[in-house]
Structure 1
Amino acid sequence: MKHLSLLLALALGLVTAVSAGPTVIECWFVEDADGGRLAKKPAALLLRQGPGRIPPRPDLDPKRYLRVHDPTGTLQAAFRRYPRSAPTPHCEMSHYIPLPASVNWVKGLTPEQSCPRALDGTWFMVSMSSPVLSLSSLLQSQTEPQPDPGLITMATAVLTVITHNPTTRIQLGQDALLDLSFAYMPSTPEATTPLAPGPPPFGLEWRHQHLGEGHLLLAATPGLRGQMPAAQDGAVAFAAWDDDESWGPWTGNGTLWLPAVKPSQEGAYQATIYLPYLQGQVTLELAVQKSPKVSLMPSPLVWAAPGEAPPELVCLVSHFYPSEGLEVEWELRGGPEGSFQKAKGQSWLSALHHHLDGSVSLSGHLQPSPVTTAQHGARYACRVHHPSLPALGRSAEVTLEVAGLSGPSLEDGIGLFLSAFLLLGLFKALGWAESTVRALKTTLGKLPSSLT
């Protein structure tokens, strides 16, 4: 019975492994058309095949229906961890021609004049993007006889570049890590450039694009000697192969580290992996943000008489980023019309004040309408909404006290003021009389005794 339970658990585990993630990824095949246009035709990638024959797809041209052999397991692993709730990734496929890299600092990867014969054949580039991953994979069509000829095209994933965090949101001034990994398995050992077995040299490039401008941020060629461009913005990359197998497959890490991120560093980051005649690229987005601090003045309470308007309220919204997307709402909590209502009165926002760290501040103003005795104890609140805050935003509040309903009335306040004024005058008069008497006694004490 124990052995039967173990076999059942193993079987369930195998079923789970086989059924994890999608088996087919729907794509668009993009190619040039007449007039310089791009034509899009339906295509599909079969990542896993269950027992039996290949699932037929009569709606697809067999040249655009690819059965993917994934020797590194990168594609399989990416979609095994793909959340069920995440949207289906957008996938595009196109033809690819192996060519040497055009940038000078990576010329050492292709010292020979022509591509090796191992790179002959038909190549495809597949690009996928979604909120949870972005990847690029180079597929080489297999030349050996294929099962079910005319039904599907067999292809091998040779180079795959992937990130599991395509959009990174970081607090202003903190360090950012842009995730990047890659995997490589040459179709034949002759496809690698080094004579000794092991992972080949490669090139890693990170470029930054923001507000229509782009520049090279970092370049590295582990395994090659040469003059590298200087890294910008203090960027550091973890550029290395993770393993040292004789003939592959190999996986690598190209994660980028940016210290103390500033607003000027947000935008698109393009990461490119260069191998001899092969290049894979993904794009990541870096968003910089800082949550605002909110305070309300005057505080702790606003004092007004019935029928009069309270003093102007000022909501300070300080040190936030970005400046776009900020909203300030005024609320009156409590009072005669329920627990919550929009505060009445005239409201406006000040101009932005810019700080040295790139953050900004502003103030929201409200001139409330005249109050009634029924509003005694209500609370004025300013609620701030910003992309860096939760959906409910952040708020600050003060309590409204209507004169005559709590503590001294306005007339009592005037009477107390006049009484204090008279007492102060009396105290000053007494002090003056006392000082005069002392001065007189001192003068008399200094006169000769004959005069006294």
Structure 2
Amino acid sequence: MISTNKGKMSEFLTIYKLSIITFTLFFGVSGSGCPVLECWFVQEKPGQRGGFTAPMDQEKSLMFITTEAYNEKTSELHPPADISPSRIYYVTDPAGTFCSSALNPPKGSVNKPKCEINPFMPHAAMVRWASALTDSAQSPVYLQADWFSVAVQGLDEQLTLSNIMRAPSASKEPKVILSVSSKTPVVRSRLGEQVLLDCGFWVDPSSPLHGSGFSIEWRYQFRGEGRLVIAYDGKNDRFAETSETGADIDVTALYESGNASLILEEAQVRHSGTYICTVYLPHLLVQVAVDLEIVEPPSLSIYPSPLPLLVPGQVVVAQCEASGFAPHTLELGWEFTGVDGKSGSLGQGSVTGHRQASDGTFSQSTRLELDSGKLKLGRGGEVTCVAKHEGEARRASATLNVIGVSAPSIEDSMAMVAVALVLYGVIKVLYWTFSSADSSDADLKDKKAK
């Protein structure tokens, strides 16, 4: 019995070892689970002069990615036949920046990451807070290679990534040298909240550029206008002077983990726009963009409040004011719910244009004429102002009472009884007053006669 158990255990261990070997071989070929990225290789057309309108040429490209140096036979990877061999790259990514799940769609998915590869030319930084990185007049021999920049947008706005890769001249096996990424490509915030715009970077420890200093820059852009938010010179450990207030980065986290995230202490409408995180190394720079949208739903109020009684033949004007919202897109409307519980739309009313406050928020109003004959308001009910905004839909209601219609309600009956009682009281007082006066005159005449 013991011998049999040992035999079974030996068979189990053999199968287990074979499974481990198969697993290792499989993931070794597939790049430790990293995706195969389909990209566009974009560059200026040969022979064309540079400039903003220079014609561009784009070709299909493919990147096989591994976290360790490529040592497998590339012929076993079987790239598609419609991609030129000159545009197939075997990338070594030691930090696994390309291996995020946001860049690896489910098998058969039609949604894929957006990827673009461009030739990159190392050059000295043009901003003063990074000029110290390249104060030498000579370029290092290390720069004599083929350089590429890769920009990738992940699925469902989960990741935006920009990498700089270096390959020995005429080689198709580049290695990631500098990587900058953001896990929050799109951020939405309410007014007054603290906002974190994520940005992190990694530098290849084996590169001569590692440890030679870095600089970080956050710049704001919106509708053609831009400003410097914050800039840090890591080589000299100092911040550049800017006019921006309430913005900061965690310098300790910057050195410990490459966390260059921007912190806005209190979100304001003026903060809406695109923020560009740029990381400078000697002769290299790479950047990612983060979009921030400040979304604040409106506050609603209806006036006059309460609404006056509506008598058939008369018109009551109601106005709804929406204030303190951003962005400015807003849809206003009116609804009415009768005493029978039935609801219906009363339309938009007369809507005014937008007005902008000093804090950047907007206000808008709508005016509605309540005519019981035209709007079929019956015996009254609830008038509701509805504001549809991307931040949140808001509603405000007021009660409308209509009197003097057929089949009076309990409220109408009570009101009429109250009016009748008041009139009866007035008549009774007048009767007593005149009766007393007549009695006094008669007594006075009797006394004179005697």
Bin of the TM-score, shorter chain as denominator length = 0.7 to 0.9
Q: Which SS does the other structure have where 2:297 is aligned?
A: coil
2:299 to 266, 284, 293: 293
**Counterparts of residues 28-39 of structure 1 (less than 5 Å):** 28-33=40-45, 34=48, 36-39=54-57
Query: Match of 2:365?
Result: 363
Aligned CA distance change for structure 1 residues 242 and 340 (closer, same or farther; 3 Å): same
* Aligned partners of 2:31 and 2:64 also within 8 Å: no
What is the TM-score of this pair, normalised by structure 1? 0.75
Deviates more, 1:397-406 or 1:116-125: 397-406
1:279 — aligned with what? 285
Displacement of 1:121 after TM fit? Answer: 1.1
Report if the CA contact (8 A) 1:288-1:321 is conserved.
yes
Once the 2 structures are TM-superposed, how far is the Cα of residue 208 of structure 1 from its aligned partner?
1.2
Equivalent residue number for residue 202 of structure 2: 183
Residue in structure 1 matched with residue 190 of structure 2 by the alignment: 171
What is the one-letter code of the residue matched to 1:217? Answer: V
Question: For residue 348 of structure 1, what is the amino acid of its counterpart?
Answer: S
Select the structure with the greater relative contact order (CA < 8 A; seq sep ≥ 6).
Answer: 1
Identity percentage over the alignment? 27
Letter in 2 for 1:133: L
1:326 aligns with 2:345: no
Shift of 1:252: 0.6
2:99 corresponds to which letter in structure 1? Q
Q: Distance in 2 between matches of 1:358 and 1:334?
A: 38
Distance (Å, rounded) in 1 between the aligned partners of 2:262 and 2:185: 13
CA distance in 2, matches of 1:415, 1:340: 34
- Report the secondary structure of 1:395's partner residue: strand
Which amino acid in structure 1 is aligned with residue 39 of structure 2? C
Report the aligned-residue RMSD. 4.1
Partners of 1:174 and 1:27 lie apart in 2 by 38
Matched with 1:229 is 241
Matched, 1:270 2:272: no
The answer (yes or no) to whether the contact 1:218–1:231 under 8 Å persists in 2 is no
Secondary structure at 2:79's aligned position in 1? coil
Per the TM alignment, residue 310 of structure 1 is displaced from its structure 2 partner at its CA by 5.5
In structure 2, C-alpha distance between the alignment counterparts of 1:86 and 1:299, rounded to whole Å = 55
Q: Secondary structure at the match of 1:272?
A: strand
Residue correspondence of structure 1 range 6-405 to structure 2 within 5 A: 23-33=35-45, 34=48, 36-47=54-65, 53-77=76-100, 79=102, 87-130=111-154, 131-142=157-168, 153-185=172-204, 188-189=206-207, 191-192=208-209, 199-224=211-236, 228-230=240-242, 232-239=244-251, 251-299=257-305, 303-305=309-311, 307-308=312-313, 311-323=316-328, 325-334=329-338, 339-343=342-346, 347-371=349-373, 375-376=378-379, 378-389=381-392, 393-403=393-403, 404-405=408-409
> Which structure shows the bigger proportion of residues in helix conformation?
2
Deviations 1:344-402 (A, max 9, x none): 6x81124545444332333222112425888336432221111211xxx2212234444
Alignment partner of 1:363: what SS?
A: strand
Moved more, 16-25 or 284-293: 16-25
In structure 2, do the counterparts of structure 1 residues 422 and 282 end up closer, same or farther at CA, with 3 Å as the change threshold?
A: farther
> TM-score, length-normalised on structure 2?
0.75
Quick one: distance in 2 between partners of 1:373 and 1:123? Answer: 74
Once the two structures are overlaid, the 10-residue window that deviates more, 89-98 or 125-134, is 125-134
One-letter code of the match for 1:140? R
Contact preservation (8 Å) 2:162, 2:180: yes
Counterpart in 2 of 1:448? none
1:397–1:8 distance in 2 versus 1, CA, 3 Å? farther
Structure 2: distance between partners of 1:108 and 1:423: 101
CA 180–419 in structure 1, closer or farther in 2 if over 3 Å, else same: farther
- Preserved CA contact (<8 Å) 2:334 2:345: yes
Structure 2: any 5+ residue segments left out of the alignment?
Answer: 1-7, 438-450
**Once structures 1 and 2 are overlaid, which stretch shifts more, 418-427 or 373-382?**
418-427
Structure 2: how far apart are the matches of 1:81 and 1:424? 91
Output the CA distance in 2 between the equivalents of 1:370 and 1:173: 44
* Counterparts in 2 of 1:173 and 1:12: CA distance versus 1, 3 Å: farther
Alignment check: 8 A CA contact 2:232 2:238 kept: no
Report the counterpart of residue 149 of structure 1 in structure 2.
none
Aligned equivalents of 1:9, 1:331: Cα separation in 2: 67
Superposition deviation, residue 424 in structure 1? 8.7
Give how far 1:210 is off: 2.3
